[in-house]
Structure 1
Amino acid sequence: MMLNPKKLAYIISIGTLVTLSLSLTGLYLSRLFSKQESEKQEKEKWYLSLYEHNQDGIISVDLHLQIIGINPAAERIFAIREEDYKHQPVSSLLPGIIEEDREPIREMFVRTFQGEELRYETAIVTDQAEHIDISLLLAPVIVDHQFAGNYIIARDITEEKRTKERIRYLAFHDELTGLPNRRMFNQSLSSMIEAYRAMQKSFAVMVMDIDRFKMINDSLGHIYGDIFLQEMSGRIIEVLEGEQGVLARMGGDEFAAIFPEHKDAEHTLHLAERIIQATSTPFHLKDNDFYVTGSMGIAVFPEHGEDAVQLLINADTAMYEVKKQGKNGYLLFSQEVHTQLQERMELEADMRKALDRSEFILHYQPQIRTGDVSMIGVEALVRWNHPTRGLLYPGVFIPIAEETGLIIELGNQVLREACRQMYAWHQAGGPLIPVAVNLSSRQFHQPQLVEQISRTLQETGLAAEYLELEITESMMMDATISFDILHQLANLGIRISLDDFGTGYSSLSYLKNLPIHKVKIDRSFIEDIAENSSDKAIVSTIITMAKQLNMDVIAEGI
C-alpha cells in the first residue's frame, strides 16, 4: 500500500509517543510495585524484629492447634527450644504449667477460637525446678477478617509479684520485728469478734507497754533500741509458742496479743505472768545489762467489751492501772477497775472547776523542835473541799493532777495562798517562822519557775527567808538543770528542804554540790524506829551526817 509520506510521519510519531508512554507507565508501575514490595519487606523486618526482640514471650498457634513459632523471649521464660516444640501440639506446653491451672488454661484455648481475648495468671516449673510466675494473654489472630490462629503472649511477673507481696507484707507487718502491725491486729481482732460471737465463746486481748524503754533509746541510741525491741519480741514469741495467739507490735514499745484459747482466767493470767517474767530478765546491750519491766492489761470478750474499740480501751485501762501501782505486772480488767476509771475521770472534770472555784484549801502542820518544844515552822498541806464528796486528801487527787498537768496550776495556787497566809500571821503578831511548800516535779521543771516564785513573794509581801521549798531527789536526776534552778532560788534567800530523804536515788553529791538547808527523814524510817534497829541506825546516821554538813534535820510524821 502506498502511503502518503506525511501521514506516515504522523503515524510513526504517534506510535513512538504511545510506545514511550507505555514504557514510562510500565516503568512507573514497576517502581511502584518495587516500592510496595520494599515497604512490605521493611514492615516484615520490623514485625520480625518486634517478634524476635520482644521482652514478652510469644508463641504462635495455627488453626490446627499446632505451634508454628516461638520467639526467643518465650524460649527463655518457658526454658524450652523452638526446634523441640515447633509443629508440636500446643498441649505439649501444659506439663510445664502448675497442675491446678492446666485445665482452666485448656478451656481458655477453646474460647479463644471463638474470637475472645483472655488473660490469666499462672506459674510454670522449669526442668531446673525453678518456679516462675507468668501472666498469659491469649489473643486471636485475624487475617483478612478471618480467624487464622492465636498468639500466646507470656510475661514473666515473678519479680513484680514478689514486689507486690513485699508491699502487702509491709502493709500488715512491722518491718523491725516481723510481727503483725496495728492494721493487721485490728483486722484480726474484728474477725475474731465476729467468729466468737457466732460461736458464743470468749477470748482474751492483752496490751503491754515496756517500762523504761525510753531510757535505753536515749542512752544507747535508736540502733540499740531497735535491737532491744527485736530481742523483746523474740522472748514474747518464745513464751507464746504452742499458743494459738496473735502477737503484734502496735508501735514504739507497745505490744498487743489475742489469746483465742481463753479457757479460763487462770490460764490467761499464767501466760501474762510468764511474759512479764520474760521481760524482766536483763538485756545485755553494749557491754551492759539493762533491766526493764512490762506493764500489761487484759480484757476478755464479750465480758469486757463486745467490739474492738471497747476491748482495747478496757485493756489499756487495766495496763495504766498497773503503771500507777508501780509497774512490772499485769491486771485483768474488772468492774472495780472500771469504777476507779470513772471516778478518776469525774474527779478530773471536777478538778478543773475546783481550781476556778477555789475549792482547794490549806491545812498547816506545825514543825516542833523537841529540845524546847517550840514551833519552828509549818508545812502547808493541800486539801480539796469537794462540794459532794467532802474533804479529800492529796493521795486521791494529786496523781490525777500530775497526769493531766493541772499540778502546775494547783501548785501555784498553793504557793500563793501559803505565802499570803504566813504574811498575814506575821502581820497579826504571830511567830516569825517559815512556811514549807512542796514543789512537784512538773512545777520544778516549768519555764521561768524562779521568776514565778519571786513574783509571788512580791505580790504577797512575804520575805524570801520565810519560804521553804520541799523538793524530792527525783527532781535532781538532771544535775545541770537542778543546779542552776536551786542556786537561783537560794540566792533569793529561799530555803531548800530535801523531802523523803533515803527513799529515792540518794547521792551524797546532792548534799555536797546543791544548796540544801534541811534534810527530811522519810516517814517509813520513823514509824518503827522504837522496835526496828535498822531504822534506828539509819535515822541516827542521817542525823549525824546532816549535823556535820551544817544542815537541819526534821523527822516526818511524828
Structure 2
Amino acid sequence: MKTSDSPDLDAQGAFFRPPNPPKGTVLDSANTEISSRSNREVGASAFVGGQARHPLSLAAAKVGTYMLDLSSERIHGDSQYFSLLGFPPTTRDLPLGAFLAKLDCEGCRSYQKVLEDVRQQLSDQLELCIFVHRNENDSVPVLDRGLVSIEDERVLIVGAQIDLTGLTTPLPQFQHLASHDQLTGLLSRHAIWRLVEQAHHQTQGTGSACAIAVLDIDHLKEVNDIHGPIVGDKLLSELATRLDQLFRPRQITMGRWGGDEFLAIASDLDELGLVREIDNARQALVDVPTLIDGTHVSVTFSSGVTSVCQPMDTTEQILARADVALYRAKRDGCNRVYGSGRATDNRTMSLAILVQDAVRTARVTPVFQPLVRLSDQRPVAEEAFSRIMEGGSRLLNAAAFIEVALQLKLLHRIDHMLFDAVIERITYPPSSASSPLPVNGEAKPIFVHISEDLIRHPATLNEMVKTLADHPLSAVTPVVLVLNEQIATEHTKTLPGILQPMLDLGCKLSISGFGDSDNSLQMLYEGFPVSFLSVDPSLVQEALKSERARKVIAEIQLTARELGITTIAKQLQNPETLKMVIELGLDWGQGYLLGVPTDPSWPLSARSGV
C-alpha cells in the first residue's frame, strides 16, 4: 500500500504532468503541487494554495489527476484517471465528449452547466459529485474538483477525480463538499441556481410566496487596491459568514453567485418581505465594521430583489429583473436595497430581457460609420458600433442599452461579437460603393471599441487573439482598438501587456475622449503605444467659445504630430465646428455632417461560426 508521500505513476512509471506548463503560472503551481504530493492530498486541497480547506477521509481513495483544455475540448490525465473512467491505463488523452458520455443525464447536464460558467468566466473552480459509468454494470461515485487557469490562449481546468467507493466518509458529506464554494462555504453558483429553478417550478399555479435577491459588495475593487487581494478574499469570506448568520434564522438560503456577488432565495417571503430582510442585514453590516487582520473595514452592499412567482417568466427573466433592480441601486449611490416593483420600470425591464436575448441568440447587429480626412473630406476609415434590433425593425444604439449590458455582465460578450463582425467585414469586404476606399493604395482601418469589462475577461481576449491569428492583418485592413481615456489612464501600467498579443498581430491602438484628464499628455510621454487619439467632444465644443480650449487642442495636435499620432475630432454636427477643427490642424473627423452609420447588412446570428 502506498504511503502518503509516494506519488501515483503512469504506465511508463513517470508521474503525469500536463504538457508545457508556463513557469510561475497557476498551472505551473498546480503541477508542482501534483508532482510533490500524493494525488490524495491534491484532491483534498483542490490545489488551493497548497492547503487543504476541506480535509477528507481519503486513505483508501483512488485518485486520478487531469487537465481539461476547454479551447481544444481535450482531457489529458494520468493512468489512474483513465482507469477510473473505465479506459485503458495506457490512454493519454481523450475528447471531452468521451468523458461526458460516461455520465448519466443529470451528471452530464450539471457538468456542462459548470463548464459553460467557466467559459463565460462566471466561475473559477469546478466541484461536482457525479456518477461515472465505467461499463454497463459498473457505476462509481466520483468527486471531481479542479481550479481554472488561463494560460496563453487556453482556458484550462487542472483537477482531480476521487473514487468515493468504499470510503469511510459518508457520500452525502462529499456531495455537500462538491456543492459548496471553497472560499465562502456557501452554496456554489450551480447549487443555488438549482434551488431557484426548483422554487420556480414548485410555485407555478400555487400562489406560494418566493423571492430572490442578488447582492453585490460595494467598492470591493478599492478594498483590493488598498489592502491587497488576500485581504479582499478574507473580507468576502467574512461577509459571507456574517450574512449567512443573519439570513439562516429567517429561512433565507444564500450562495456565492460569482466574484463579489451573492444570490439569496427565500421560499416563504414575497418580494417586499425579502426586501425588508435584506435591508436589515445591510444596516447590520453598516453598524458593525468587519475586522480583517486587526483592521476594521467598513463595507456595504447593494441588492436587487424580485418575486419568483411569475407564471409567464423564465428563471432567466426573473434573474434579469433582480439584476436590473440591483443596477438601479448601484446607479443611485450604492448601499441600498431595491425591489423590482419599486426600482424597475417596464422600459428598463424590457431592455434587460432584450439584451439577454440578443446576446444569447447572437442578435447583436454591427453598423459602420465613416471617418474622413479633414483636408479633403475623403473617407479614410470606419468605426464599428453595436446595435440591437427591437420589434423587428427598430435599431437601438449602444447608448440605450450599454448600462444594462454592463450590469448584466454581458458587455464583454457584445464587444466580442462586434469584434468578430469587424473581422468578417475585413475577410469579406462589402461591395457597396458607399464603403470607404483604400487610401493611397493602403487598406483602411476599422475602429472597434474595447470596454473595461472586456479587459477583465482574459479568456475572451484570448479568443479574439486566436481569431486574429486565423485572419492575419498584414495584407488586409488593420483593426484599431479604441479605449476610453479614463480606462487607459487607470490601467496605463498593465494595458500594454494585456493588449500586446493583439498589437503583435497587427492591431493599432486609439484613445477616445482625449483631453478629459490632467494626465492626458503624460500618458503619451510615458510611451503608451497610441496610433490614434480622438479629442474629447466636450473640449471641442468648449473651443468654439474659449480661446484657452483652442490652445489646449492646438497643444494636443502639436504633440501628436511630433509623436506620429493621428488626431480625430468626433461628433461634428455643424459647419462651424468643422471649420474650427480644420483650422486647428486636426487630421480626421467623424459625425453625421460627414457621414451617417451604414444600414446594417446582416445580424451577427446570420454569420458563420456564431
TM-score where L is the length of structure 1? 0.46
Larger Cα-atom Rg: 1
Tell me: higher relative CO, structure 1 or 2? Use CA pairs within 8 A at least 6 residues apart: 2
Which has the larger share of helix?
A: 1
